[in-house]
Structure 1
Amino acid sequence: MIDLAKGCVHEPDPPSAPDSVSATAVTVLARPVDPVGLGSWLAEFASSAQSADGFVESTTSVYADERLDLAIAVTFRDESLLNGWLDGPARAGVLRVGSARGFHRAATDLVLVDGEPTPPGVAVFRHTVTAGRVDEFIGAQRDLTAASTQFAGYEGTVVLPPGGSGEWTSLIRFRTERLLAAWLKSTERQDALSPLRSTLDEDFSTFTQTTPFGTTVRVEDGRTKLTPGWKSAMLVLLVLYPTVMLLSRFVGPILEGMGAGPWLTIWLSQVLSISLLQWVLMPFAVRRMRRWLDPVDGAGLGVTLRGVAIVGAGYVITLAIFATITRLQYWDYR
């Protein structure tokens, strides 16, 4: 456990699997009138999550300065496991105990799922802080917070020490997405960012968002970066080809047997294939190729070539399967 500027990190075993889509709940707390016992209650809060299935880590925000929110973030292996703990009796019990002691939630829990949009009005940033400059980084965050309070709709800033990723995380909340956008685009923010950047090894980045068809959108310092189109196309082809082949072999004959004409059979098959790709097959493939699709983490030559080799091997395997297994060749069953 690390204690830094009243921020704690708890790292249990085992960590989440690299290909899992982690989910984090950030609970923002009101400043207690009497902080006596706060540390022990935060430990109880973290303990209630540690005993739950899928727990990865919990992190308490830096809150020594009144301008920074008091919050605790809990990460689980996936969203369903996180929701199981959020709705479970263990967490409900520790919240009741906290309320009795004067520790209350200040806002609705914020749920952040890797690869999905953040809640409206919320922006999340990751920071790689230069060794020995943590105090300067926290000071820059305080100054940035002071500037943001001058804008309409500002609700708070959470600064979380590094967990398993090794990166600091800051989270800023505005009442609406429009008000948040006004702050992000403001000259006041740009002026306040210079001291913050000087404490970082590299420029900060936001959470990424990946579309169902394999395009990862990543915003860094207001600049939007996208997965190269050829990578998305390669992955779609890898998933689409076997899907169409199997639907043509097994679903097409059923539809034709029900009296559907070729024009309707093809249309219904396309509806089914697009639905499978949108909600089942592509999300599965994207999770396993997430780093390769990331326009920043996957930009290196080594990562790019490994991903191309994996997708290329998938092409070879699927082509070999449909070329050699006659039972799967739909043209023999017309």
Structure 2
Amino acid sequence: MTRVRLDAGAVAAFAMWQAALTRLISAQPGFVSVEILPTYDTSPEWQVIQRFAGPAALEGWLAHPPRRALMAELIAMKAAGAPDPTEEAAPDHHAFGAVAEVITTAVEPGREAEFLAWSESVQAAQSRFPGYMGTFVQAPVTGDPPRWAALVRFAKPQQLDAWLASGERRALLDRADPTMSHWSSRRLAGGFGAWFAADESGRRPPAWKQTALVLLVLFPVVMLEMRFLSPILAGLPIAVATFIGNALSVALVSWPLVGLAQRAMAWWLDPPAAHRGRCELLGALVMVALYAVEMGVLSRLF
């Protein structure tokens, strides 16, 4: 992972830099994927995660002279007083709280270079749109014709929709040779998706808060099933008994438990901007306390 803190005036230059990097890395031996994303929405700090099939391919990429030239350009974009871009082992950012569109493109064999050149223009354009939260590009694994996958993230659904419906994107699609590639797309929901209602702007709670709340309501359901349901199902095949238990758990969690918990913790899931810090801290303490109460009460059943 390459980490950099950008200067406020380098937004346009960084958009072009992302496009150039994506085109260059996509043509390298052993390339698996590249992911470009900010630490959070509107953050000046960005991470560029570069994945390769093995250590040798990664080392070749790190030593590639054109990459070094791009890194020199990136240094010129860093904020005044910020350290030079750093290189470190990459964490997993797939739980990032944002809305994403997955675009799969089948490229005719022999026309990969043409496709990557066109993709560079798309990357540069989408990076300039409000709410842009990074891109994940994956090279083909199997298939004929080869299929490239791109995951485009925006902070809010309406911001992603604005890019997808924009005249700039439509012009880029019209410019592409229809004999070169064929594409399809689908929307990904963050976290537990439809279990959590969106606010007026279409935004859902961050994925980590969704997960924390689901754990809060799922844990007692599983414990109660172990205490009271498991003895009843003991005579059934284990696969059948497990399926019944899981089906009951999912049904109870999806309705009504998550809805009730969401209403009770709405002040923490989407706190007002004026009191965000206080609500975040208080909400975290409340969640820890509720976990402790659940464990204390339910431990008496066994």
Per the TM superposition, whether the score is higher than 0.5 is no
- Larger RCO (alpha carbons 8 Å, 6+ apart): 2
Measured against the shorter chain, the TM-score band is: 0.3 to 0.5
TM-score, with normalisation over the residues of structure 2? Answer: 0.40
The structure with the greater share of residues assigned to helix is 2
